[in-house]
A and B are shown apart, each in its own frame.
Chain A
Amino acid sequence: MNFLAIGTEIAIALLMLIVLAADLLLPKDVSHRRIGVISMVGLAVILVYTFGQYHIGASPTFFGGLFFVDNYALFFKQLFIIGMLFTILFSLEYTEKLLRYRGEFYVLLLSALLGMCVMASANDFITTFVGLELMTVSFYILVGARMTSEDSSEAAVKYLIVGAASTAVMLYGMSLVYGAAGSLVFSEVCRNIHLFYAAGLAGVIMVIIGFFFKLSVIPFHMWAPDVYQGAPTPVTALLAMGSKAAGIAVFMRILYTAFPILGNFWLPLLAGFAALCMIGGNIMAIRQTDIKRMLAYSSIAQAGYMMVGMAAADLAGMKAVLFYAMLYVFANLGAFAVLTVIDTERGGTSRRDITGLAQAAPLLAAVMTISLLSMAGIPPTAGFAGKLYLFTAVVERGYLWLAFVGFVMSMISVYYYLMVAKAMYRDLTPEEAEYAAPVYVPLTVRAAVLVSVFATLGLGICPEWLASLTNAAVQTFMR
């Protein structure tokens, strides 16, 4: 038994229990920031530890290859930990002011992280399912965590209904795959020729539909805008970067290792839905006035871009997806850190609430603009490099039209991203003078946004740094 292989998971689970115990010991009326600090310190240590796990030879596994800690999984685990770490950092103030169950909030964040990490390494349907459910159940609660907000409970109910129904669909698909292939382990499923029977095909389709629900791919996206808008802002951030990246990680592993023999069948499907996401997400984002809701549609489009890389189905495509997922985390960190401050100080995230931000908090306005430009893929931000990798990978595989759709839609997306910038930078009319009053920006938020901006710009100028890491991640995929 190789316990080192699950060291990251054990550490996160321990950290979760420590935070739970610390919350019980702490008096109720005392500031809970220290619990957030404990979680951050713990996550930072775990992050450093995961760097030491990168390897060149065979990957460590747990229990007969059912849990695969290859560099690919490590890369995604680091991505989740970074996202979680900085989300806790910028939401310390928000949690303290707007949430009632602050200690439990951190516990739930860590359990969601644990679920994501399990998913990234899972190599059979049971582990995948259990990790996925740990993550989604934690998110159901987190979405409803803002007790004083009716939107929060409405969003949580909608998320739970759609999430549970999609779980049922995915499980039905898994059962049919199990029936056709006689096993639940990816490496045994992929060898079974019976996957070509009607049951196998139907099962694969239903598993893919289940993942489309989780990744909010059009036309299975109807829950995403409502949930993103109603959830507490830091939770929305995690839904956009963590939950989505975890879905991508496990979806890619399932497609490439369990269903590769059906590739001719799901590759066109993936390409078609990627195009649908990029077109629909970007067009529907244009008419949104709430920034969180706009970012929800934008995240649908971003899932489409990442599926472009998956449709390439080769090392270059995988590399591009990993690169894009990481830079998307940094772009989201910036945008949602700003939104969290706005939500705390002005009590909303509509386009009205960010009016005049350039005068109220110039740093935040600049960070927001840079993050949104990175999502749109404008040089010299990292988004440009990411999209370049994605589209070149897919063009080499002959999907010229897909790259074209992606390119045109990126241009269209610049419009609504710049609408936000315009709201922040335009001159205020005399009636709006109140919006120029300075907004209090906590030191923690300053730290988080500076990291996100440096990462976004740094990776835009020198993408090789991250590219070498993604190379290492892809080279040992399933080895």
Chain B
Amino acid sequence: MISFVEMMHLALHVGLPHFLLLSAVLFAIGLFGLFTKKGIIAVLMCIELMLNAVNINFIAFNHYMPATDLSGQLMALFSIAVAAAEVAIGLALAFRIYHDHHTVNVDDLNHLKG
């Protein structure tokens, strides 16, 4: 086992693992929300959290790796653009669901069944 002092030293020496852990924590929180939230808008917010966690990964890798170019940052940029498009569609759909079914709860959408 590593000692407390060593652990403190590791924790204070900010590096790649810190960012990977942070992104894993954010992704896990988003995942938890995805499974537990009922409202469509809340679910979409959780998905946005997950996508943000991924971007942290890309940018952290791009910064700390012996990278030759900025393709990690570029991927994060495209991911932001795509996420914005997805959230626009998602919110328009939430609006329509609210109109069609008079609810925004995912659990109440159970007309389609086998």
Contacts and interface: CB of A to CB of B under 8 A. Distances in A.
**Do A's and B's CB atoms come within 8 Å in the complex?**
yes
Interface of A: 125-126, 129-130, 133, 137, 140-141, 144, 150-151, 153-158, 160-161, 164-165, 167-169, 171-172, 174-176, 178-179, 182-184, 225-226, 229-230, 284, 287-290, 293
17 contacts: A126-B71, A126-B75, A141-B89, A144-B96, A151-B112, A154-B100, A155-B112, A157-B94, A160-B89, A160-B90, A161-B43, A164-B86, A171-B54, A178-B75, A179-B57, A179-B65, A226-B112
Interface in B67-114: 67, 71-72, 74-75, 78-79, 82, 85-86, 89-90, 93-94, 96-97, 100-101, 106, 109, 111-112, 114
Contacts of A182: 65-67
Contact of A168 (B54, B94, B100): B54
A178 B56 CA distance: 13
B112 A154 contact: yes
Given A129-B75, A172-B27, A157 B97 contact: yes
- Identify whether the interface residues of B are mostly helix, strand, loop, or mixed: helix
A302 B79 CA distance: 31
A183 B27 CA distance: 22
A219 to B, nearest CB: 15
B74 to A, nearest CB: 7
A154 B82 contact: no
Given A160-B93, A164-B90, A171 B51 contact: yes
- Identify whether the interface residues of A are mostly helix, strand, loop, or mixed: helix
B75 to A, nearest CB: 5
B114 A225 contact: yes
A157 B75 CA distance: 26
A155 B47 CA distance: 18
Given A126-B74, A129-B82, A168 B47 contact: yes
Nearest to A284: B114
A165 B30 CA distance: 10
Counting contact residues on chain B (CB < 8 A from A), the size range is: 35 or more
Interface in B33-83: 34, 40, 43-44, 47, 50-51, 53-54, 57-58, 61, 65-67, 71-72, 74-75, 78-79, 82
Contacts of B53: 168, 172
Rank and list the top 9 A-B pairs by shortest CB-CB distance, nearest first. Answer: A175-B57, A168-B50, A179-B61, A226-B112, A171-B54, A150-B100, A133-B82, A154-B109, A164-B47
B61 to A, nearest CB: 4
A150 B89 contact: no
Contacts of A141: 89
B100 A178 contact: no
A157 B93 contact: yes
A153 B61 contact: no
Given A171-B54, A184-B72, 7 more contacts: A129-B78, A150-B100, A165-B34, A179-B61, A184-B71, A184-B75, A229-B112
A165 B93 contact: no
A314 B112 CA distance: 40
Contacts of B82: 129-130, 133, 137, 167
A169 B85 CA distance: 18
A8 B101 CA distance: 42
A151 B111 contact: yes
B96 A153 contact: yes
B61 A183 contact: no
Contacts of A169: 50
A153 B93 contact: yes
Contact of A137 (B20, B30, B43, B86): B86
A183 to B, nearest CB: 7
